[in-house]
Amino acid sequence: MAPLTATRVVEALKEARRRTFTLVAAVSDADLQRVHSPLMSPLVWDLAHIAAYEDLWLVHRYGERPLLRDDLAAMYDAFETPRAVRGDLPLLGPAQAREYMDEVRSRTLEVIDERGVGDGLLHEMVLRHEHQHDETMLQTLMLARLDGYALAGRRPMPEPVRPAPTGLDMVEIAAGECTIGASSERFAYDNERPRHRTHVRGYLIGRTPVTNAGYLAFIEGGGYERREWWSEEGWAWKEQHEITRPGAWTADLDAEWRLGGLEPLHPDRPVVHVSWFEADAFARAHDARLPTEVEWEKAATWDERMDPAHPRARRYPWGNRRPVPGQHANLDHRGCGTAPAGSYPAGSSPYGCLGMIGDVWEWTSSRFDGYPGFVAHPYREYSEVFFGGEYRVLRGGSWATRTRVATAAFRNWDYPQRRQIFSGFRIARDA
């Protein structure tokens, strides 16, 4: 990878900002300020928070200048101000938030002009932070059900693959070693490190994520009524909230909400907006289970074929090159939703798994924790404070993830009942 020069950082920061503004360009001021879901911040909070984070890391800490708006620091700090209360705060309005973003950005560019980007790590972190908030904002926009919302630059999705994958077709991976985690050569988050070797028992894993057709068959086969397929916690959640279908499906199971409107349920697309509990129940109904995250990562990255004497992990299923959206994977907000499963054969992993990057975040059975030898960096709140709880790990990124973020080592996490995230899954089984 070419070193992160000041010129490249500046270009990437500008591109990130153009994309952020594109996402909200067609959203009214009222919808920017509204709380669309108790799980999400008002969009206008995300906007000013992006600026506050940039000011903190690139201007204040890296550039050693005072914060631009000391008075806003707490309100836009994700920890001091949890999502649940963000709607009740005297937030900056949409125009003020955009102005704040512009002002911070000018300061960031001044600092870069003055002292370059150093090793580039903080700049990479801030860039990815903005990219990740774009995905968060897309979750909010999905939940807002803004009819007619149109994202500029939307591309058509590929034609369905024939024969259509359902997610039940599996590949077998023999027992053996592999390495897990990000290499030390490039930027990675603390929770992806250190890279370590581990032995994995033989297993089978879905060639593709489970599709809408596969999931519809589960529902029609009594998926939400058969107690034996559900964990105790999952059943209690489903009963309490009267869950009978994925989060974006209509009650007649004929259509699903996509960004911008209701569309007929497409059988070949990966099922999305399902909770871990639902994914787990589906797997049990098929005499299967969810893969552990180690199984997921091995299936995505481990290459014993290229050089059998020296197998090694790839950065992406297809190799070490950054994804080209539309060629390797459905990423980057490209089609404003999922593509038919199996659409990108060029994105295949060495074991033949498809769609591991992009389309839907995939639930794994694993709880979120540090790898052996974990060291918090650059701050504890990035991941360490989330370790050891109820969070389950999701892998692979979604259609709403930017290419810069979507590596195979990237770990996302959420509660098992959540489904505001663009979450799907693939199944696994012991060999």
Q: Which residues bind Fe ion (CB under 5 A)?
A: 78
Taking the complex as a whole, the smallest distance from the CB of residue 78 to Fe ion amounts, in Å, to: 5
E strands, 51-207, where? Answer: 170-173, 176-180, 196-200, 203-206
Q: Which residue has the tokens 């950065």?
A: 315
Nearest-Å Rg of the Cα atoms of the chain is: 21
Which C-beta is closer to Fe ion: that of 72 or that of 217?
72
Is residue 215 classed exposed, middle or buried when 0-12, 13-18 and 19+ CB atoms within 10 A define those classes? buried
Cα(54)–Cα(41) distance, rounded to whole angstroms? Answer: 18
Taking the complex as a whole, the smallest distance from the CB of residue 385 to Fe ion amounts, in Å, to: 14
CB 418 within 8 A of CB 275: yes
Biggest alpha carbon–alpha carbon distance for the chain: 64
Adjacent-strand bridge partners of 362: 395, 424
Taking the complex as a whole, the smallest distance from the CB of residue 134 to Fe ion amounts, in Å, to: 11
Taking the complex as a whole, the smallest distance from the CB of residue 155 to Fe ion amounts, in Å, to: 28
Taking the complex as a whole, the smallest distance from the CB of residue 104 to Fe ion amounts, in Å, to: 14
Does a cis peptide bond (omega within 30 degrees of 0) precede residue 378? yes
Instruction: Say which residues have a Cβ less than 8 Å from residue 237's Cβ, sequence separation at least 6.
Output: 243, 275, 277, 416, 417
Tokens of 277: 């509990």
Which C-beta is closer to Fe ion: that of 65 or that of 83?
83
Taking the complex as a whole, the smallest distance from the CB of residue 61 to Fe ion amounts, in Å, to: 15
The count of other CB atoms within 10 Å of the CB of residue 25 is 10
The count of other CB atoms within 10 Å of the CB of residue 396 is 27
Which C-beta is closer to Fe ion: that of 78 or that of 121?
78
Backbone angles phi, psi at 22, to 5 degrees: -60, -40
CB 142 within 8 A of CB 259: yes
Taking the complex as a whole, the smallest distance from the CB of residue 131 to Fe ion amounts, in Å, to: 11
CB 397 within 8 A of CB 405: yes
Residue nearest Fe ion (C-beta atom)? 78
Taking the complex as a whole, the smallest distance from the CB of residue 379 to Fe ion amounts, in Å, to: 12
Taking the complex as a whole, the smallest distance from the CB of residue 88 to Fe ion amounts, in Å, to: 19
Does a cis peptide bond (omega within 30 degrees of 0) precede residue 66? no
Which C-beta is closer to Fe ion: that of 78 or that of 171?
78
Backbone angles phi, psi at 31, to 5 degrees: -70, -25
Tokens of 166: 């359902």
Which C-beta is closer to Fe ion: that of 382 or that of 415?
382
Which C-beta is closer to Fe ion: that of 46 or that of 297?
46
The tally of CA atoms less than 13 A away on the side-chain side of residue 128 is 16
Which C-beta is closer to Fe ion: that of 78 or that of 109?
78
Cα(209)–Cα(353) distance, rounded to whole angstroms? Answer: 9
Q: Which residue has the tokens 């707490």?
A: 74
Taking the complex as a whole, the smallest distance from the CB of residue 382 to Fe ion amounts, in Å, to: 10
Number of H helices and E strands in the chain, helices first, is 10, 13
Taking the complex as a whole, the smallest distance from the CB of residue 408 to Fe ion amounts, in Å, to: 23
Which C-beta is closer to Fe ion: that of 41 or that of 301?
41
